[in-house]
Amino acid sequence: MGEILKCEGLCKSYGNKEALIDLNLTLESGKIIGLLGPNGSGKTTLIKLACGLLKPTKGKILIDGMEVGTETKAVVSYLPERNYIPLWMTVENIIDFFCDFYKDFRKELAYDMLKRLNINPKDRIKTMSKGTKEKVQLILVMSRNAKLYLLDEPIAGVDPAARDYIMDTILTNYNPDASVIISTHLIQDIEKILDDVVMIQYGHLRIHGGADDIREQKNMSIDQLFREVFRC
């Protein structure tokens, strides 16, 4: 059990807009963490900082004790909200690509999951429906044996049956040396599998605690707490 993510006085601004303000947060390994907050709260900014897609304006962000860089990218597996696989590629192509660049990629597991979801590896991404594209991306991300998984809205565009499959995949992939951060609006659907909850508003950390602890103390579900904290 170590610190998989640590933010020290982390700030990020885009010109005049301050997306994250003096964020101090430590997340342990072996946990499934919900990153919750309204649109524009800074969730995606935090995730992009953890992946190395953005650089901090001030402060530090450490992954597994290292500053974000080439080495951390090798142990972080990121699922963005959008499709990032080149459309001309087939599923086989992108799997070869991942095998080439990520030592921790588990090829057999990927093919196994594709089979379970009835996705033909020889299909081109271009020809797939939105839902199928998302499933392929999720399979790629979860087939890595990473230390930190960053899932940005993994279940938003997917049908309820696939949602169950996705959550099962997250659970069965559980590894005490790794953590999964799930950023989502659909709190009701995923809150039962969360260990910890992090709530962000206007770039500030509002709440950080264990999911069951919160339920015990406040006598409500995380979803209800969210609605209370972020009441319009």
Q: Which residues of the shown chain bind other proteins in the complex (CB under 8 A)?
A: 14, 30-32, 48, 51-55, 70-71, 73-74, 76, 78, 80, 82-86, 88, 93, 97, 100-102, 164, 167-168, 171-172, 174, 188, 191-195, 211-213, 215-216, 219-224
Q: Which amino acid is at 216?
A: E
State the minimum distance, in angstroms, from the CB of residue 211 to other proteins.
Answer: 7
Contacts of 193 (CB under 8 A, 6+ apart): 32, 167, 170, 171
Judged by beta carbon, residue 2 or residue 24, the one nearer other proteins is 2
State the minimum distance, in angstroms, from the CB of residue 146 to other proteins.
Answer: 11
CA atoms within 13 A on the CB side of 86: 9
- The whole-angstrom separation of Cα 136 and Cα 145 is 16
Judged by beta carbon, residue 12 or residue 23, the one nearer other proteins is 12
State the minimum distance, in angstroms, from the CB of residue 88 to other proteins.
Answer: 5
State the minimum distance, in angstroms, from the CB of residue 175 to other proteins.
Answer: 10
Judged by beta carbon, residue 38 or residue 80, the one nearer other proteins is 80
What is the DSSP annotation of 21-53? EEEEEEEETT-EEEEE--TTSSHHHHHHHHHTS
Judged by beta carbon, residue 24 or residue 151, the one nearer other proteins is 151
State the minimum distance, in angstroms, from the CB of residue 222 to other proteins.
Answer: 7
**Do 37 and 226 meet the contact criterion of CB atoms below 8 Å apart?**
no
Judged by beta carbon, residue 24 or residue 101, the one nearer other proteins is 101
Judged by beta carbon, residue 100 or residue 108, the one nearer other proteins is 100
Q: Which amino acid is at 211?
A: A
**Do 155 and 167 meet the contact criterion of CB atoms below 8 Å apart?**
yes
State the minimum distance, in angstroms, from the CB of residue 217 to other proteins.
Answer: 10
**Do 206 and 199 meet the contact criterion of CB atoms below 8 Å apart?**
yes
